[in-house]
Amino acid sequence: MPDPGSPLPDTSAQRYLDARRIRALAAELGLRPSKGRGQNFLLDANTVRKIVGLAQVGPADVVLEIGPGLGSLTVGLLHAGPRVAAVEIDPVLARQLPATMADLAPTATGNLTVVERDALTLREGEVAPTPTALVANLPYNIAVPVILHLLAAFPAIERGLVMVQKEVADRLVAPPGSRVYGVPSVKLAWYAESSRVGLVPPTVFWPAPNVESGLVRFTRRQPPPGADRRTTFALIDLAFSQRRKMLRSVLTPRYGPGVLATLDQAGIAPEARAETLDVTDFARLATYLLPVC
């Protein structure tokens, strides 16, 4: 994280991808943004600077960026000084990215590594140096699986900032009892404290999506005491499969009539519903259910 007392970098000579450059690059590559891959390219340098500033990354960091696309966010990250490992599934975009960065940030290209891979299959050891932060404009359709996979696969990731669909952002940071609290909320809470730190309008993208985007910042913390992650996550999935039902009704078909006593041991009311429990409750309850499995 940058030293808050250090002088701000001189941004007057920094170059970014604007709407003209992005459309020119797309035409040169014969690229039509793919809805299936969630390709919405950032056009606005101010938005890029905002994201990088909120991410609080600097020369001491190794940033994992997922889906760099044409490089709008990548160049902003390189201007901030960290090493960047950009993971891109599209081979055309992956091959183009180093050349674009050499044009826009020539003194920082040594800090860029491009990995042509599906982020959902990425594993620790396949990116070097080891990432310490995640910063990404994530495709809406895979945002939650990507975030949860990377936090599990890269334990050295200490913090991050992701841009996702606003509704997804709200679900990720929702507290227990909230209308949108659910599986993504609890599973992210296993790994990290999170908050929504901003909104991004559709007008700064090409093509413009039909919804606003939300910026979610997270900081990793120790997992809650209790059962391991796999066991706890299985319980979370089961409990939310019928979120409006009382836990005793949801759990009894799987664990049998002893569930009432188990809930009492775990200090959870049998009439409680999944949407009222936090991640600590689920980890504790999973520990008591283990002998019943």
Q: Across the 293 residues of the chain, what is the mean pLDDT of every consecutive 10-residue run?
A: 44 82 94 76 95 97 97 98 96 96 96 97 93 94 96 97 97 97 98 98 93 97 96 96 94 92 95 97 93 54
- Please give the pLDDT value at position 11: 53
**CATH tag for 19-220 (out of 3.40.50.150, 1.10.3720.10, 3.40.1000.10, 3.30.950.10):** 3.40.50.150
Q: Give the number of other Cβ atoms within 10 Å of residue 41's Cβ.
A: 23
As annotated, the residues of the chain forming the CATH 3.40.50.150 domain(s) are 19-220
- Please give the pLDDT value at position 174: 98
**CATH tag for 229-292 (out of 3.10.310.30, 1.10.1040.10, 3.40.50.10890, 1.10.8.100):** 1.10.8.100
Q: Which amino acid is at 10?
A: D
> Which of 187, 232, 64 is CA-nearest to residue 133?
64
Q: Which amino acid is at 169?
A: A
> What is the C-alpha to C-alpha distance for residues 207 and 39, in angstroms, rounded to an integer?
8
> What is the C-alpha to C-alpha distance for residues 191 and 229, in angstroms, rounded to an integer?
10
> What is the C-alpha to C-alpha distance for residues 79 and 9, in angstroms, rounded to an integer?
9
- Please give the pLDDT value at position 217: 98
As annotated, the residues of the chain forming the CATH 1.10.8.100 domain(s) are 229-292
- Please give the pLDDT value at position 292: 53
Q: What pTM value is reported for the model?
A: 0.91
> What is the C-alpha to C-alpha distance for residues 122 and 131, in angstroms, rounded to an integer?
12
